[in-house]
Structure 1
Amino acid sequence: MNDAAVIQTPALPPSELERLDARFPARSVAVRGGAVSVRECGNGPAIVCLHGIGSGAASWLDTALLLEADARVIAWDAPGYGESTPVDAAVPTAADFADRLHGLVDALGLASFVLVGHSLGALTAACAARPGSSLAARIRQLVLISPAGGYGAPSRAEASQRVRTQRLATLDQIGIAGMAAQSAARLLSEGAGTQARQWVRWNMARLNESGYRQAVELLCGGDLLAELPPAMPVRVAVGERDVVTTPESCREVADGCGVALELIADAGHASYVERPQAVAALLRDVLAT
């Protein structure tokens, strides 16, 4: 889909925002260092969901509602996103974000939970799940969906600098609104419906500039493969039409975990927005394991 078509995508209908607030409401949870904004619904074993660099807690709405009879679904706004307090470091690491996650699950009293990391969220999730992590014993299973590998490995230094320069230059040139108009389409397959496109663009348009800058630093300095394999069972999945974290790149992550890569049919990068039924089925299967 070209950029002109994205710009013409209708705004998110008020009824969708009403559904979000009624069915997947936001609240602030006090943690050491500030607060974390979360959205939550359902009852049962806990599933904690971490979004990617261009998204937020609200993006998990439809997947969460499909799981509310089976699980307590908790989605955070990452540090610096939504109403969540940024971490202190201007150039944060995955460990900084994992420490904030630890504070959140402590505040929520979660003794055991499934941890789901999508895209950039996979860097935080893998750090929290690595052997020796203070959170590892409480993570029942790890699920990485379209995981971003990061550019922190020494062999990727040139790519890291290029990605940092490009992303921050784009932010400076066109701002958050321009990024939402121009970039949202890449997160979905060509067959995605209008509502999925509206949600992806709405979530991206709500980014905080300072939080996004920190997330870019996390992406450029993170090294997912260095954290693998995790200390618990893991599933790795990707949308079969993902052009951001491609099936080829995600297969390397799956290999690092010693598991087979699972393909989510007819889905792009934001598979849980585009194909929530498929992602809910995957998580339901994780709960049953």
Structure 2
Amino acid sequence: MGCTHDCSSCGESCNSKKPENLIEKLNQYSSVKKVIGVVSGKGGVGKSLVTSTLAVTMNRKGYKTAILDADITGPSIPKSFGIHEKAKGNDDGIFPAKTKDGIDIMSINLLLPDETSPVVWRGPVIAGAVKQFWTDVIWSDIDYMFVDMPPGTGDVPLTVFQSLPVDGIIIVTSPQELVSMIVEKAVNMANIMNIPILGIVENMSYFKCPDCGKEHKIYGESHIEEIAKKNNLEVLAKLPIDPSLAKLVDAGEVENFQGDFMDNVAKKVETTCKIK
């Protein structure tokens, strides 16, 4: 906000004042210890896959986890977990859905009359819905909440960074050449908002042939190491193209995935954002 008076008359420099705290209050019955945002500079890189598998991995480690699906116009988290019922609530707030293994989920799809109904809302309304997922939902004793954000640097990421006490973000990318510019946009936004970046996850890094074991770079050679070095970031994981994982997601059974590909990401989260 710009200054509304003559600073010389009050003896203060408005530019030196601390910015207004815009963090929204949780529901009085909620408890969330750590909030981790999962972001990407462009769509289609597997951000929701990283969010869901990371939440599952942390849940397997014994933490109470939750996912706030902030991708209002393109929600995919409920389908990944096989959740089709509607959210319920009372005068105290809205209750998140629970997955088979006990992960709390809130998504716009749990509130729509039909999960295929489009959300044709303008930016401020979408941003308001994301705030309500934080303030009106009863998040019960959550250790780690993962926020699946829409791609880009628009209204919703800005709302999340300003309104939620985000402890760190994970940037999801793919191997394409244009990723360098897109990653830097996400990095610059995080720096402007003073949000710590935990590291980068590259999705669709390679395909491993089930017959010969050879790795094929379907989308070309990765540039993620040089991008990470340029921005002083850590590469947390390089995820393969895995048809079996895609099949589980399509079937709503992401909690049944096998493999340790998210273990290093989970370790980074729990060591950098420790639960006190």
**Does the TM-score normalized on the shorter chain lie above 0.5?**
no
Give TM-score scaled by structure 1 length: 0.39
> Which protein has the larger Cα radius of gyration, Structure 1 or Structure 2?
2
Q: Which has the higher helix share?
A: 1
Give TM-score scaled by structure 2 length: 0.40
- Which structure would you say has the larger RCO, counting Cα contacts within 8 Å and 6 or more residues apart? 2
